[in-house]
Amino acid sequence: MPEVHDNPDTWVAEHIRRFEETGGRPRPGVNDLLLTTRGRKTGELRRTALVYALDDGRYVLAASNRGADHHPAWYLNLLADPYVTVQVGTESFAARARPATAAEHPHLWCLMVSAMPDYAAYQEQTPRKIPVVLLERG
């Protein structure tokens, strides 16, 4: 089994640890998942913790990077290789990731802001349009 490297950000690494300790429920009332991508530069497996929403059976993510002016590494990784592993609760599964289309984005963005109101503030902090990502099993 290849080694998986957790997000080096201290807050995210702690979140991953709590996720594992609680069986995938580190924050009551918030839907969290673990996303593993393949590093676009290193080819190594990279894992991060993210908030998700559901839309018609698909998992929805926001590539907010907490309002930074650049996309998060996990988003750039899945653009290079859309085949990812997702863990929700104690279940892990393969998925294919893709950015939402321009037509899909408004609805999905509202869904993500409903799931995590901080996303609205993050969008105000950055000139980039925060991408929304869809994860589909398979």
Q: Which CATH superfamily is domain 4-137 in?
A: Electron Transport, Fmn-binding Protein; Chain A (2.30.110.10)
pTM score, whole prediction: 0.94
Listed by start position, the domains of the chain span 4-137
Q: Where are the beta strands (DSSP E) in 7-82?
A: 32-38, 45-51, 53-55, 58-62
The model's pLDDT over 46-86, given as tens digits with 9 standing for 90+, comes to 999 999 999 999 999 999 999 999 999 999 999 999 999 99
Exposure of 18 by Cβ count < 10 A (0-12 exposed, 13-18 middle, 19+ buried)? middle
